Amino acid sequence: MSWVWMEHVDNATTRYLMQQVDQWQAGGITGPYFPFQRDTASESGKCFMDAFRAALHYLVSPDLVTLEMWDAFEATQPDDILGGVTRSDVTTFFDVLQRDSVPLDYDHLFLNVAPRSIAKIETFNKVCQEQPPGVHIVSAGEDDVGHCFIVVIVYGSIERVLVLDGFTDKKDPPMDVLPLKYLQWVNNVKWMCRVALKPGYQCRHGKRKSKTQRKRENRLR
């Protein structure tokens, strides 16, 4: 990356990544840099939100959770989140949505239904077929590169497991639809949770911020 003018990469999004590259090189490692254990693989760099928006589009509630809501949340988090999200980051975001009474079923969102032993797509397909019909966010990986996508499980005359991948407002439908068997790159499924609507949901705690979120916001001031 030495050919890139530093002013071109010095912004809020890339500054953290450049710091990680510097630390990588300082450690004496000569190979390419990869951000481990975080889900980053998408055109927008926000594959979790791409997947979440795809799920809500499928559930005919496309504006229920927006990129603006994610950006506001991201601004309150440590810089690590700029390099990709972890399950902990996602859970904290769900906490925020719950306190804001966004009408989703949080019993499903907070529950990871993926076993720890999924290492190939055939095993994951069997796991999906054991789930109830519905829409699920999946965090999976190829080696150390993580990616989020949606699995739709449909029961009927023919049982189907479909994938919704990516999200862009520039096409209709805004995401790619493909059979699960096409995702042969998957060799590690980290977590999986169901996305379901819960009309009329009201959080009994209102919009009160969690203790962890208050501490993080105080550190960033």
User: Could you read off the pLDDT of 27-67 as tens digits, one per residue?
Assistant: 555 544 333 344 444 444 588 999 999 999 999 999 999 99
DSSP state of 130: T
Direct distance between the N- and C-terminal alpha carbons of the chain, in angstroms, rounded to an integer: 32
SS3 assignment, position 9: helix
pLDDT digits (tens, 9 = 90+) for 18-38: 454 455 456 555 544 333 344
- Asked if the model's pLDDT at residue 89 lies above 70, the reply is yes
Question: What integer pLDDT is reported at residue 6 of this predicted model?
Answer: 40
**Pick from 2-6, 73-77, 105-109, 217-221: least confident:** 2-6
Domain boundaries, the chain: 1-31, 34-220
DSSP per residue over 32-95, as a string?
A: ----TTSB--SSSS-HHHHHHHHHHHHTT-TTSS-HHHHHHHHTTS-GGGGG-B-HHHHHHHHH
For 97, the enclosing helix (H) or strand (E) is: helix 87-99
User: 26-35, 100-109, 157-166, 212-221 — which one is most confidently predicted on average?
Assistant: 100-109
Q: What would you measure as the largest C-alpha separation in the chain, in angstroms? A: 58
CA–CA dist 210, 139 (Å, integer) = 25
Q: What is the mean pLDDT of the chain?
A: 78
Beta bridge partner(s), residue 134:
153
**Prediction pTM value:** 0.72
- Asked if the model's pLDDT at residue 136 lies above 90, the reply is yes
Position with higher pLDDT, 208 vs 146: 146
